[in-house]
Structure 1
Amino acid sequence: MDLDVLNMFLIAGGTLAIPILAFVASFLLWPATLIKVYHWYWRRRLGMQVDYAEYEGYRFCYSHRGNPGFRPSVLMLHGFSAHKDMWLGVVKFLPKNVHLICVDMPGHEGTSRTSAVDYSIEGQVKRINQFVKSIGLNKKPFHLIGTSMGGNVAGVYAARHPSELCGVTLICPAGLQYPTESKFVERLRELEKTQDRDGIPLIPSTPEQMEEMLKLCSYVRFKIPKQILQGLVDVRIPNNDFYHECFMELVGEKSRHSLHENMHLISTPLQVIWGKNDQVLDVSGASVLSGAVPGCQVHLLDNCGHSVVLERPRKSAQLITDFIIAQQNAGINSNKKLS
């Protein structure tokens, strides 16, 4: 083989080997960093920009895409111990001409971490209202989406600020009195009796506990390499004290049934999406909401657990989009009749 040709192959092989070796090294040595790079990559690919907003010294971190237009803007509230990037799978399937905002909830990720008063449901509703004002989202009615803890916040927000919203979507929301207790709630009752403060299933500190949490939250069983599980744990461990403080506020008397206590005040068009196999918050909560809010639309998903937006992102996006369009068309027809 000609020496120049041989050199060309060696250079080409070396060029390919470097990123491959870098990836393998990151996977084995710095899995937490790899996970952060993964989220950065998908935000960039989907056109989501990270930004900050301030309200009287309190800082909110959020990602957004697009500008306010004909269709209502959409604000998404994530669940406990998650962050704004959990919505990326759903964002992928939402129309590109819709103005989207995903905010880190109080104390989570890039949003200010203050004290327990901000982590109760009422405290979070107050902070989210401040965020809405700080970015001018309340200039015209927007659509609010929340999942789990975020669903509790979104539901109470709808009860407190109906004039700001044109619709609300609650995905497996917390804060209800469920006719049937879930596996997770049963576990919490056991922990309450034993006063075990370190056994909360949603606050893992080892790869094994992380794997158990993922099994609890998801119906689909993924075989996740131990390195990735370790990376997920490494990202969370520095925040575990905060997660514990926040969790105790959420299950306290003031927040535990916040949505249940306020659902009769929801006048905004309501959509409920729930995984039939939810082991964290039982699907029977959907019937509680549909019975309390007239016109509530309920969608129960087969073979789906608590992590609906991660397990069924395409279906979630389709249901949300159809609901927003239907409400918008209903508003247009109503205005025509009035004129």
Structure 2
Amino acid sequence: MELDVGKTIMLAGGVLVAPILAFITSFMFWPGALLKAYNWYIRRSLGLVIRYSYSGSYRFCYSSRGTPGGPTPSLLLLHGFSASKDMWLPVVRHLPRNQHVVCVDMPGHEGTSRTDAKDYSIQGQVARIHQFVQSIGLDKRPFHLVGTSMGGNVAGLFAATYPSYLCSVTLVCPAGLVYPKDSEFVKRLRELEKTKEEDAIPLIPTNIQQLDYMLRLCCHNPLNLHRQIMRGLLDNRIPNNDFYKEVFMEIVKDKSREALQENMHLITSPLQVIWGKEDRVLDVSGAAVLQTAVPSARVELLDSCGHSVSLERPRKAAKLIMDFVSEQGDDAKKHS
């Protein structure tokens, strides 16, 4: 009897030790894989399911939760440059559990098809997102569109091009404007151009030091990440760096770089603008540019927050978005 108890304790100890050893080994040797596993766990805990849709041979990868047709419009979330649908996980955590939400990988990013440069311009991305909306039937009723940074440029042009698809739109620190004040990022790009170091793009790090600078550029509040986590982030990014450079060269061309600026006056959907006051990538002065073009726009400036609003202020961002969406619904009911 005592022997059986001893064997049971040893077996239980082995069961506990195995995953701990696996975690330690992954953390030390494969931190990138561990980060991907962590995102999988968070998606699962939030009820998000990875799905694929097709437009011809083109594949879109997205995560979603809930079903359309609820008390509030569906939310479609567009991420920024070199990110993925998972950048929205902190925000989704604070959305109502019954809210239908869709987070899509932008053209060429993560699980969405990687084709050629024409798809990576802002106009090309808008065309692909239009295809995506149709491929999953999101065009059957007006939805709320959210875009951040590059995704904000895309969302703004989408709103100007397909107004009947939307009930409202939120732009978070959007690219695509002529900013009255240069950000640290823009100043850095100009310095690199002068020194002929155009390939040293601060948003495409190739080593830990460059990654640390990118994170400090994007976040006002220091993240203080463990070096192995930094290594994991870098390991997951480096294989895509050539693609990121291709995308970057497309979105900084004149036609793409000022796409929102040239079309913002065509946005007729109720517009919300959210911006971190300490944004060092795209200066917060862009918020005033949007409000001048669209006087009815709701502008929310966040204290102690940089460019990565979804990471630094996810609860606040989720609340602002849902409050805005609910208000538009209430206004529509009053007018009807």
Q: Under a length normalisation based on structure 2, what TM-score does the superposition of the two structures give?
A: 0.97
Secondary structure of 1:242's counterpart equals helix
Once the two structures are TM-superposed, the CA of residue 6 in structure 1 deviates from its matched residue by: 4.3
The residue number in structure 2 matching 1:12 is: 12
Once the two structures are TM-superposed, the CA of residue 198 in structure 1 deviates from its matched residue by: 2.4
134-143 vs 2-11, which moves further: 2-11
The residue number in structure 2 matching 1:167 is: 168
Q: Which amino acid aligns with 1:162?
A: P
- For the 8 Å contact 2:189–2:198, the answer to whether it is kept is no
The residue number in structure 2 matching 1:243 is: 244
Q: State the Cα deviation string for residues 94-131 of structure 1 (Å, max 9, x = none).
A: 11221111000001001111111111111101110011
The answer as to 2:317 corresponding to 1:303 is no
The residue number in structure 1 matching 2:189 is: 188
Q: Percent identity?
A: 63
Q: Distance in 1 between matches of 2:4 and 2:75?
A: 58
The residue number in structure 2 matching 1:260 is: 261
The residue number in structure 2 matching 1:209 is: 210
Q: Which amino acid aligns with 1:334?
A: H
Secondary structure of 2:124's counterpart equals helix
The residue number in structure 1 matching 2:60 is: 60
The residue number in structure 1 matching 2:22 is: 22
Q: Which amino acid aligns with 1:67?
A: T
Q: Which amino acid aligns with 1:308?
A: V
Once the two structures are TM-superposed, the CA of residue 5 in structure 1 deviates from its matched residue by: 4.6
Q: Distance in 1 between matches of 2:48 and 2:196?
A: 43
The residue number in structure 1 matching 2:40 is: 40
Once the two structures are TM-superposed, the CA of residue 205 in structure 1 deviates from its matched residue by: 1.1
Secondary structure of 2:256's counterpart equals coil
Unaligned stretches of 5+ residues in structure 2: none
Once the two structures are TM-superposed, the CA of residue 212 in structure 1 deviates from its matched residue by: 1.1
The answer as to 2:97 corresponding to 1:114 is no
The residue number in structure 2 matching 1:151 is: 152
Q: Distance in 2 between matches of 1:263 and 1:97?
A: 32
The residue number in structure 1 matching 2:271 is: 270
Q: Distance in 2 between matches of 1:211 and 1:226?
A: 10
The residue number in structure 2 matching 1:51 is: 51
Q: Distance in 2 between matches of 1:288 and 1:295?
A: 13
Unaligned stretches of 5+ residues in structure 1: none
Q: Which amino acid aligns with 2:16?
A: L
Q: Distance in 2 between matches of 1:193 and 1:124?
A: 30
Once the two structures are TM-superposed, the CA of residue 3 in structure 1 deviates from its matched residue by: 4.9
The residue number in structure 2 matching 1:88 is: 89
Q: Distance in 1 between matches of 2:130 and 2:12?
A: 55
Q: Distance in 2 between matches of 1:195 and 1:67?
A: 51
Q: State the Cα deviation string for residues 188-220 of structure 1 (Å, max 9, x = none).
A: 111222231321000011122111111110011
The answer as to 2:324 corresponding to 1:319 is no
Secondary structure of 1:259's counterpart equals helix
Secondary structure of 2:53's counterpart equals strand
Once the two structures are TM-superposed, the CA of residue 137 in structure 1 deviates from its matched residue by: 0.6
42-51 vs 11-20, which moves further: 11-20
Q: Under a length normalisation based on structure 1, what TM-score does the superposition of the two structures give?
A: 0.96
Q: Distance in 1 between matches of 2:195 and 2:212?
A: 23
Q: Which amino acid aligns with 2:10?
A: L
The residue number in structure 1 matching 2:226 is: 225
326-335 vs 221-230, which moves further: 221-230
- For the 8 Å contact 2:169–2:271, the answer to whether it is kept is yes
Q: State the Cα deviation string for residues 268-304 of structure 1 (Å, max 9, x = none).
A: 0000000111000011111111111021001111111
The residue number in structure 1 matching 2:283 is: 282
The answer as to 2:140 corresponding to 1:139 is yes
Secondary structure of 2:52's counterpart equals strand
Q: Which amino acid aligns with 1:252?
A: K
Secondary structure of 2:16's counterpart equals helix
2-11 vs 146-155, which moves further: 2-11
